[in-house]
């Protein structure tokens, strides 16, 4: 079966675990104002997938290093982002219309649920990752550098370490 199969567009072999440790971690991170603000800025200015960054950070906190070849993980994220981005666009457009707030709330709920599905799909990759003996700062850098570049990665890593994740 191909990834674009109409029967199973995400090539899922088993149901996704929506309420998983990665999702719980992400909710805790999102409650940290400085981290939330930085992640949203990266999403807006650089079109970075926050869920992919959160996965890299969570893996680091679990002493797991992302593989050098992240094509499968990135493909998973991209497939879900194709659905999340239009939902985000609808929510942002509705936010401009004060009389459409209830509809905006529904769009936001759909967007968050789609984000949760993406995270569950990313979480499914975690079992394939190997444990690392690197200290947390080095592991965060190793996981984030390929996604962000060294300077931005270092900025985000410092925020994570200061947030006591």
Does the structure show a pLDDT above 90 at 34? yes
Write the secondary structure of the chain as one string of H (helix), E (strand) and C (coil). Answer: CCCCCCCCCCCCCCCCCCCCHHHHHHHHHHCCHHHHHHHHHHHHHHCCCHHHHHHHHHHHHCCEECCCCCHHHHHHHHHHHHHHHHHHHHHHHHHCCHHHHHHHHHHHHHHHHHHHHHHHHHHHHHCCCEECCCCHHHHHHHHHHHHHCHHHHHHHHHHHHHCCC
Asked whether residue 64 carries a pLDDT value surpassing 70, the answer given is yes
The average pLDDT across 39-58 equals 95
Does residue 148 carry a pLDDT above 60?
A: yes
For the cut 90, the answer to whether the pLDDT of residue 15 exceeds it is no
Q: What does the pLDDT read at residue 20?
A: 96
Q: Report residue 50 as tokens.
A: 């926050």
| Position 12 pLDDT exceeds 60 | no
pLDDT of residue 10: 57
What does the pLDDT read at residue 4? 43
Nearest 5°: the CA angle 88, 93, 99 is: 125
Quick one: pLDDT at residue 8?
A: 44
Mean pLDDT, the chain, integer? 90
pLDDT at res. 114: 95
Dump pLDDT digits (tens) for 84-134. Answer: 999 999 999 999 998 999 999 999 999 999 999 999 999 999 999 999 999
0.85 cut: is pTM over it?
yes
Is 61 a residue whose pLDDT tops 80? yes
Of residues 48, 57, 50, 69, the one with CA closest to residue 22: 57
Residues paired with 64 in a beta bridge: 131
Segment 42-47 mean pLDDT: 93
pLDDT at 164: 82
Q: What pLDDT was estimated at residue 143? A: 96
């Amino acid at each position: 079966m191909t990834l674009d199969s109409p029967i199973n567009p995400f090539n899922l072999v088993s149901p996704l675990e929506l309420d998983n440790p990665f999702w719980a971690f992400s909710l805790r991170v999102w409650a940290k104002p400085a981290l939330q603000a930085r992640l949203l800025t990266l999403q807006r200015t650089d079109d970075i997938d926050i869920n992919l960054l959160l996965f890299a950070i969570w893996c680091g906190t679990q002493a797991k290093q992302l593989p050098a070849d992240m094509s499968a993980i990135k493909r998973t994220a991209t497939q879900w982002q194709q659905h999340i981005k239009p939902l985000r666009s609808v929510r942002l457009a509705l936010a401009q219309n004060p009389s459409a707030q209830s509809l905006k709330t529904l769009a936001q709920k759909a967007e968050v649920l789609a984000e949760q599905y993406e995270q569950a799909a990313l979480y499914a990759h975690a079992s394939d990752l190997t444990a690392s003996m690197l200290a947390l700062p080095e592991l965060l850098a190793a996981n984030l550098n390929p996604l962000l570049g060294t300077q931005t990665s270092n900025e985000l890593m410092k925020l994570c370490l200061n947030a006591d994740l």
